[in-house]
Amino acid sequence: MKGLIIAGGPGTRLRPLTYNTPKPIVPVVNQEFLKHQIEFLKSQGITEIILNLHYLPHLIEKVFGDGSKLGVKIYYSIEKNPLGTAGAVKNAEQFFDGEPLIVFNGDVLTSINLSKMIGLHLSKKSKATLALTPVEDPTAYGLVITEGDGRIKEFLEKPGWELVQGMKKFEINAGIYILDPSIFKDVPKDTHYMFEHDLFPKLLREGTPMYGYPSNSYWIDIGNLKKYKQVHEDILRGDIAVRIYGTRHPEGYWIGNKVELADSVKIIGPAFIGDKVKIKPDTVIKDYSVVEDCVEIGDHSVLDHTIVWKGCKIGSHVKLTDCVLGFNCKIEDYCNLKGIVLADNSIIAKGSVINV
Is the per-residue pLDDT at 170 higher than 80? yes
Q: Cβ(112)–Cβ(215) under 8 Å? A: yes
**Mean pLDDT of the 134-138 span:** 84
- 199 pLDDT band, cuts 50/70/90, is very high
Residue 251 is predicted with a pLDDT of 87
- 52 pLDDT band, cuts 50/70/90, is very high
**Mean pLDDT of the 188-206 span:** 91
Is the per-residue pLDDT at 175 higher than 80? yes
Residue 160 is predicted with a pLDDT of 78
Q: Cβ(5)–Cβ(49) under 8 Å? A: yes
Amino acid at 102: I
Q: Cβ(229)–Cβ(26) under 8 Å? A: no
Q: Cβ(332)–Cβ(317) under 8 Å? A: no
**Residue percentage of the chain with pLDDT more than 90:** 76
Q: Which domains does the chain have, with CATH numbers?
A: 2-237 (3.90.550.10), 247-355 (2.160.10.10)
- 140 pLDDT band, cuts 50/70/90, is confident
Amino acid at 85: T
Alpha helices in the chain (DSSP H): 33-43, 57-64, 84-91, 114-123, 161-164, 200-205, 225-237
- 138 pLDDT band, cuts 50/70/90, is confident
Compute φ and ψ for 233, nearest 5 degrees: -60, -45
pLDDT for 74-106, tens place per residue?
999 999 998 999 999 999 999 998 899 999 998
User: Cβ of 280: how many Cβ atoms within 10 Å?
Assistant: 19
- 143 pLDDT band, cuts 50/70/90, is confident
Q: What is the DSSP string of 279-297?
A: E-TT-EEESS-EE-TT-EE
Q: Which of 21-25, 65-69, 137-141, 258-262 has the lowest mean pLDDT?
A: 137-141
Is the per-residue pLDDT at 250 higher than 80? yes
Instruction: Please measure the distance between the N-terminal and C-terminal CA atoms of the chain and give it in whole angstroms.
Output: 47
Residue 128 is predicted with a pLDDT of 95
pLDDT for 29-47, tens place per residue?
999 999 999 999 999 999 9
pTM (predicted TM-score): 0.91
Rounded to an integer, what distance in angstroms lies between the CA atom of residue 246 and that of residue 111?
A: 21
Give which of 90, 32, 101 is closest to 61, Cα–Cα.
Answer: 32
Angle at the Cα of 354 from the Cα atoms of 353 and 356, rounded to 5 degrees: 155
Rounded to an integer, what distance in angstroms lies between the CA atom of residue 64 and that of residue 27?
A: 14
Beta bridge partners of 353: 336
Q: What is the CA radius of gyration of the chain?
A: 22
Rounded to an integer, what distance in angstroms lies between the CA atom of residue 170 and that of residue 353?
A: 43
